[in-house]
């Protein structure tokens, strides 16, 4: 890009992919790029399963180690802390190292952590293993996004939306995989071991693909690399980070509190409460797949903004009327309207900084991870003080904030 962009001012051309300024993988054949992208997709599907399998396994884990509920919660905290540190490291290194080797090494760490969790003899060791699990999964997530964006800069938006659609499928499969394992009488620890074995096979496939079709060297990829400092002070990217925080606030809030709200406040059955979360993921998958069909030149920000407004309206109406079936439908629709938010944000940041895709992705995901650490606690506090319905309304308000922030960026771009 020519010149240094204003912290908040966008030109219309900034909203259109610019493959000429991207990391150069022009020496790779179309077949090689397709194989590498297929490997990235397979890795994303595999690690996404672990993201949602912990919740159903938590009762067994707490019982086996004799933990208090607060100690069980520290397992999630350890995973989140590992994720935050990994995202920071990924942001500093992703654009300077060979992304293929980087993502392979991160996935290897993920596989090792799965096996170590399955054999952890003490609670303290278990916390360390979940710290490694969080670090490895967040590294894989960040580098996968950056590598996919670099492989196909000319249709980056479609590739990223498909990548996150696959993540949604994996997240949807997590509880189903856990239920299958538990129904066969397999322990929670063995469930991680089984997933580790499956992921080992996936890693071997990716390693063979990378060995047969190597990416350019790290030195070539980092040649004349712009300083990441520009991202850290660019108002556009900071606004995208704020949008990410608001969106993740909605999603993690629903994942954490929706089942309990539906059962305790609305009197819904446990089955309906579980179905509501599954339908949310179905909606998210549908939204991401739909956006993958959009033309490459389509600006992502209006989709983010208007989707956020639509999600706010349906969630707010449902939580005000307090009908279980209506809430279930609203959660699914909100997932559909806003499901593509994360890949669209990553796409926008990578468009503006095509030579710093790793740093740009890291900033977006770091914002979401920090929100995920705070919002469940905050909503729990709202529920204690004001009741569950006001707490759930916070999820809708988060999407209204997504709309407002998106309009700020669009107005600066002259794209209203």
The answer for residues whose C-beta is within 8 angstroms of residue 176's C-beta and 6 or more apart is none
Model pLDDT, residue 1: 38
Torsion, CA 330, CA 163, CA 129, CA 380, rounded to 10: -20
Q: Are 215 and 25 in contact (CB under 8 A)?
A: yes
Q: Are 106 and 143 in contact (CB under 8 A)?
A: yes
Q: Are 331 and 315 in contact (CB under 8 A)?
A: yes
Q: Are 164 and 372 in contact (CB under 8 A)?
A: no
Tallying the residues shown for the chain, one arrives at: 416
Model pLDDT, residue 7: 41
Token representation of residue 164: 């996150």
> Which single residue is written with the structure tokens 């309207």?
337
| More reliable by pLDDT, 175 or 115 | 115
The answer for residues whose C-beta is within 8 angstroms of residue 73's C-beta and 6 or more apart is none
pLDDT tens across 202-258, in order?
A: 999 989 888 888 876 654 555 555 566 667 777 788 899 999 999 998 988 888 788
Separation between Cα atoms, residue 83 and residue 139, nearest integer Å: 8
* pLDDT over 60 at 380, yes or no: yes
pLDDT tens across 300-311, in order?
A: 889 999 999 999
Q: Are 374 and 256 in contact (CB under 8 A)?
A: no
Q: Among 39-53, 65-79, 373-387, whose mean pLDDT is lowest? A: 65-79
Would you tell me which CATH number, out of the four given (1.20.1740.10, 3.40.50.2300, 3.50.50.60, 1.20.1250.20), belongs to the domain 226-416? 1.20.1250.20
Model pLDDT, residue 226: 56
Give me the DSSP letters along 240-258: HHHHHHHHHHHHHHHHHHH
Cα distances (Å, whole numbers) of residue 152 to 18, 30, 267, 350, 357: 11, 10, 48, 12, 12
Q: Are 67 and 192 in contact (CB under 8 A)?
A: no
Phi-psi category of 322—alpha, beta or left, where left has phi over 0 and alpha has psi -120 to 50? Answer: left
Under DSSP, the state recorded for 227 is: P
* pLDDT over 90 at 189, yes or no: no
3-state class (DSSP) for residue 398: helix
Residue 319's closest CA among 380, 245, 250, 266?
A: 266
Mean pLDDT for the chain overall: 81
* pLDDT over 60 at 11, yes or no: no
Q: Are 168 and 251 in contact (CB under 8 A)?
A: no
- Binned at pLDDT 50, 70 and 90, residue 91 comes out as low
Q: How many CB atoms lie within 10 A of CB 247?
A: 27
Phi-psi category of 28—alpha, beta or left, where left has phi over 0 and alpha has psi -120 to 50? Answer: beta
pLDDT > 70 fraction of the chain, expressed in percent and rounded: 84
Token representation of residue 274: 């579980």
Are domains 29-223 and 226-416 of this chain identical in fold? yes
The answer for residues whose C-beta is within 8 angstroms of residue 384's C-beta and 6 or more apart is none
Domain 29-223: homologous superfamily in CATH:
MFS general substrate transporter like domains (1.20.1250.20)
Cα distances (Å, whole numbers) of residue 156 to 29, 215, 410: 17, 18, 20
Separation between Cα atoms, residue 35 and residue 213, nearest integer Å: 8
Separation between Cα atoms, residue 277 and residue 273, nearest integer Å: 7
Q: Which of 45-54, 102-111, 174-183 has the highest mean pLDDT?
A: 102-111
Give me the DSSP letters along 42-92: HHHHHHHHHHHHHHHHHHHHHHHHT--HHHHHHHHHHHHHHHHHHHHHHHH
Beta strands in 109-213 (DSSP E): none
Residue 327's closest CA among 315, 337, 338?
A: 315
Separation between Cα atoms, residue 1 and residue 18, nearest integer Å: 9
Q: Summarize the confidence of residues 362-386 as an average pLDDT.
A: 85
Q: Are 355 and 282 in contact (CB under 8 A)?
A: no
Residue 283's closest CA among 310, 256, 257?
A: 310
* pLDDT over 70 at 132, yes or no: yes
Q: Where are the domains of the chain?
A: 29-223, 226-416
Model pLDDT, residue 9: 41
* pLDDT over 50 at 10, yes or no: no
Cα distances (Å, whole numbers) of residue 401 to 8, 148, 243, 273, 396: 18, 29, 7, 26, 9
């Amino acid at each position: 890009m020519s010149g240094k962009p204003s912290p908040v001012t966008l030109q219309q051309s900034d909203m259109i992919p610019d493959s000429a300024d991207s990391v150069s993988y022009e020496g790779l054949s179309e077949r090689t790029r397709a194989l590498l992208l297929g490997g990235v997709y397979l890795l994303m599907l595999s690690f996404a399963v672990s993201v949602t399998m912990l919740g159903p396994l938590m009762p067994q884990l707490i019982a086996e180690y004799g933990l208090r509920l607060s100690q069980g919660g520290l397992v999630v905290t350890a995973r989140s802390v590992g994720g935050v540190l990994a995202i920071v490291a990924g942001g500093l290194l992703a654009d300077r190292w060979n992304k293929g080797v980087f993502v392979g090494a991160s996935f290897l760490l993920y596989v090792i952590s799965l096996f170590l969790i399955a054999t952890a003899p003490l609670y303290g060791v278990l916390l360390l293993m979940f710290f490694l699990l969080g670090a490895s999964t967040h590294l894989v997530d960040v580098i996968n996004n950056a590598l996919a964006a670099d492989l196909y800069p000319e249709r980056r938006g479609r590739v990223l939306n498909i990548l996150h659609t696959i993540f949604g499928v994996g997240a949807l499969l997590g509880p189903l995989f856990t239920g299958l394992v538990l129904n066969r009488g397999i322990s929670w620890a063995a469930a991680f071991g089984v997933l580790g074995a499956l992921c080992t096979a996936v890693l071997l496939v990716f390693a063979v693909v990378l060995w047969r079709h190597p990416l350019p060297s790290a030195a070539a990829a980092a040649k004349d690399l712009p300083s990441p400092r520009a991202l850290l002070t660019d108002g556009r990217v900071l606004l995208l980070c704020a949008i990410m925080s608001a969106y993740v606030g909605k999603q993690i809030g629903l994942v954490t509190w929706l089942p309990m709200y539906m059962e305790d406040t609305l009197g819904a059955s446990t089955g309906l409460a579980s179905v509501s979360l599954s339908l949310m993921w179905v909606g998210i998958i549908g939204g991401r797949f739909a956006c993958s069909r959009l033309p490459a030149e389509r600006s992502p920000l209006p989709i983010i903004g208007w989707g956020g407004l639509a999600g706010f309206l349906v969630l707010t109406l449902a939580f005000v009327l307090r009908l279980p079936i209506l809430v279930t439908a609203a959660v699914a629709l909100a997932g559909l309207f806003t499901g593509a938010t994360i890949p669209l944000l990553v796409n926008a940041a990578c468009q503006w900084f095509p030579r710093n895709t790793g740093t740009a992705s890291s900033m977006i995901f770091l914002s979401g991870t920090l929100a995920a650490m705070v919002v469940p606690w905050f909503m729990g506090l709202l529920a204690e003080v004001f009741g569950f319905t006001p707490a759930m309304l916070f999820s809708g308000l988060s999407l209204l904030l997504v709309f407002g922030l998106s309009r700020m960026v669009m107005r600066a771009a002259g794209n209203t």
